[in-house]
Amino acid sequence: MSAERLVIERLGARGEGVAWLGGRRVFVPYALVGETVTADVDGDHARLIDIVDASPLRIAPICPRFGDCGGCAVQTLRADAYAAWKRGLVETALANAGLKLGVAPLVDAHGGGRRRVAFHARFDSGAAHVGFMAARSHRIVEIDACPLLAPELGGALNAARAIAVILAARGKPLDIAVTATLGGLDIDLRGAGPLDDSETGALIAAADAHDLARLTNHARLVALRRAPHIDIGPATLTLPPGAFLQATQSGEEEIAARVLKATEKAQSIADLFCGVGAFALRLARRAQVKAYDLDAAAVAAMRAAAQAAQGLRTLDGAERDLFARPLNASELNDFDAIVFDPPRAGAAAQAAEIARSAVPAVVAVSCHAQSFARDAAILLKGGYVIREITPLDQFRYAAHVEIVAVFEKESRRKSAKRRLLG
């Protein structure tokens, strides 16, 4: 490791400053474009020592832990430049995939803050340390609070600490996932393994003391005091343990609004990688929806919510592994529109089948710019055109961006144009 003077040329995909040293790229966390810095360089990464010449775009961070805690990548960049950087993540991913496409301005979808959080607990000589990981490290940065969390998660950290203390004797790394629900905090533990009677009793007492709605261990029930409900459009849904949700309520609503608008003329819709039905339950107000996901518990929860809701049209949910067995083009042609929201890895196999189909409208939702760009290229090659690409920021200060893109089959556009021209 050596101390070097570096000039930052750009921000990378992880929010790190990128400089050149001896013909190789060096990544410097927390440095900004145009800054001259000194840093301890170790291979292609460096630790920031000092800012010799600061960027005029540099502002004060909102959190005293910024620079140590790895939860945030970019807090010190002025708002307009920050929005341009996040939008640029999508533009760069598209360009790297050989696509020259317009990207709309970034939409702020942080709202009231994140409604779910994962704390990490590590143990040293029986003492519990709870917080977030340091950047590029497994070291725990203990925190008193996080300014990015929704107020409903106000008691999450104290509850997580109490749980970690109970399980400290195990010495196993522990992840504590907390979700804010209408019934209170819903916590799922990962890493503890099977619990003994003493630990179970202590955790039940902790759930009472911290007024938790539910506590599960690897999705197995430990304590249930109130149902962990959330509202999705017209439905009220009981969350399966550890279920996926969009990070913020505002983010879910912003994405759903764009999905609904893009499919407003469709009477029959396929919702692929549907999860608990964030889109399907809303779409079913005015269309017949078939929703598919590998997560059987999520699909069951969605179906139960739909059955209890008023005013929905048909919503049929099915468990299906869309990676191993994507809906083929023939199956897809039964629908007027398709919505797909895959995990970070994207959905190359499913996108290939969509590209072969004749479905007139497709909405792609993604949390990973690179896999989105790859899937978009597949659809474009199959005859789709893009109507719009909108980046949304519900992971404020992190190097993640949500994307909603609307596609239309080119053959349908040409047919409509011919009709208009007579």
Active site residues: 367
- Give how far Cα 47 sits from Cα of 64, 138, 220, 285, Å: 18, 16, 41, 52
Q: Exposed, middle or buried: residue 134 (CB in 10 Å: 0-12, 13-18, 19+)?
A: middle
Q: End-to-end CA distance of the chain, in Å?
A: 72
From CA 363, how far away is CA 89, in angstroms rounded? 20
Whether 305 contacts 277, CB under 8 Å: yes
Strands 402-409 and 361-366: antiparallel
From CA 224, how far away is CA 241, in angstroms rounded? 11
Reference 50, options 35, 69, 68; nearest CA is: 35
Contacts for 36-41: CB closer than 8 Å, 24+ residues apart: 36/5, 36/6, 36/7, 36/8, 37/5, 37/6, 37/8, 38/3, 38/4, 38/5, 38/6, 39/3, 39/4, 39/6, 40/1, 40/2, 40/3, 40/4, 41/1, 41/2, 41/3, 41/4, 41/6
3-state secondary structure of 394: coil
Phi and psi at residue 18, to the nearest 5°? -115, 125
Q: Which pair of tokens denotes residue 251?
A: 């983010």
From CA 325, how far away is CA 282, in angstroms rounded? 26
- Give how far Cα 375 sits from Cα of 251, 364, 370, Å: 22, 9, 9
Whether 164 contacts 127, CB under 8 Å: no
DSSP collapsed to 3 states, 161-204: HHHHHHCHHHCCCEEEEEEEECCEEEEEEECCCCCCHHHHHHHH
| Residue length of the chain | 422
